[in-house]
Chains A and B, each alone.
Chain A
Amino acid sequence: MNSSVIVFPGSNCDRDIAVALEKLQFKNKMVWHKETKLPKSDLIVIPGGFSYGDYLRSGAIAGKSLIVNEVIKAANNGCLVLGICNGFQILTETGLLKGVLLRNKNLKFINKDVNIKVINNDTKFSNKYKKDQVLKINIAHNEGNYFTNFNHLKELNNENLIAFKYCNKNGDTNKEANPNGSLENIAGIFNTKKNILGMMPHPERMVDNLISNTDGINLFSSLLK
């Protein structure tokens, strides 16, 4: 499986995701944002970081960069696209995913391992997980407070487009388990065709017991199926 990781000035999780992908035998290429052509890719990853120093709004400038036009074309043709953290913010700025990521409700940058629950495991990204499985995944963001309009929220629920929700260790998605104020504890969403996943937690940081855990591996191995 061929993957491409898009690199912007200020991306800082690009090498982590490359290590995770290569560990699972993806043939990965790094793609600089000024490129106008994508290598042959089954999966495009927009990594975390602070593209363009979060100028204007997180992801706003990166969302208008040259390579993003190609990502949009590929995504519309059904290519799998994964946006993590700043990558999720960029995907919302491109319009590939609806909604927006606001400043965390408590105004603090949050960096900690949190529990998230698998809401939809019937997708290319999540089929190796069990439904309602509770994972422990790291989050590290300042703008992760997901917000969208009423109609889209309804669509997310009715069409089963919510990928992950923040929860406690028992899997309860209550207010106390919501780290950033996200609408309905949303931690990750799919587009309507479910070929695009945007998520704030960092699965690429959870692929090795030596440094954390392996709760993130199934996301990548799901894609290989």
Chain B
Amino acid sequence: MKFSVTVTLKEDVLDPQGKVVQNTLQNLGMDNLKSIRQGKYFEIELNDNDQIKAEKKVNDMCKKLLANLIIEDYKITKI
């Protein structure tokens, strides 16, 4: 069973990398660009067949290591 996890900075945390990427794209003429937030992407494969159990494990992984909950949010999607 495979999941994707995206980790992004919380809305009120400054994302300087995203800001620089945004400025650069605007310099390239992408003038309708409203905002960019940069994050991290993980693909996680588990041996479980039970989706609820597997998702709980991935959730645990996010909380324990993949995301720092003080500054980051995460989103799990089955793929």
Q: Are A100 and B17 in contact (CB under 8 A)?
A: no
Q: Are A103 and B65 in contact (CB under 8 A)?
A: no
Say which size band chain B's interface belongs to.
10 to 19
Say which size band chain A's interface belongs to.
10 to 19
Which residues from chain B contact A60 at a C-beta distance below 8 Å? 65, 68
Q: Are A100 and B16 in contact (CB under 8 A)?
A: no
Q: Are B14 and A102 in contact (CB under 8 A)?
A: yes
State whether the Cβ of B70 lies closer than 8 Å to any Cβ in chain A: yes
State whether the Cβ of B44 lies closer than 8 Å to any Cβ in chain A: no
Tell me whether A100 and B71 are in contact in the complex, defined as CB-CB below 8 angstroms, given that A105-B14, A107-B20, A147-B13 are known contacts: yes
Q: Are A100 and B14 in contact (CB under 8 A)?
A: no
Question: Whole-angstrom distance from the CB of B8 to the nearest CB of chain A?
Answer: 13
Q: Are A100 and B68 in contact (CB under 8 A)?
A: yes
Query: Considering the chains assembled together, what is the distance between the CA atoms of A103 and B18 in angstroms?
Result: 12
* Binary flags per residue of A48-78, CB closer than 8 Å to B gives 1, else 0: 0000000011001000100000000000000
* Binary flags per residue of A101-131, CB closer than 8 Å to B gives 1, else 0: 0110111000000000000000000000000
Tell me whether A99 and B70 are in contact in the complex, defined as CB-CB below 8 angstroms, given that A105-B14, A107-B17 are known contacts: yes
Q: Chain A: residues with CB nearer than 8 A to chain B?
A: 56-57, 60, 64, 93, 99-100, 102-103, 105-107, 147-149, 181
Q: Chain B: residues with CB nearer than 8 A to chain A?
A: 13-14, 16-17, 20, 40, 64-66, 68, 70-71
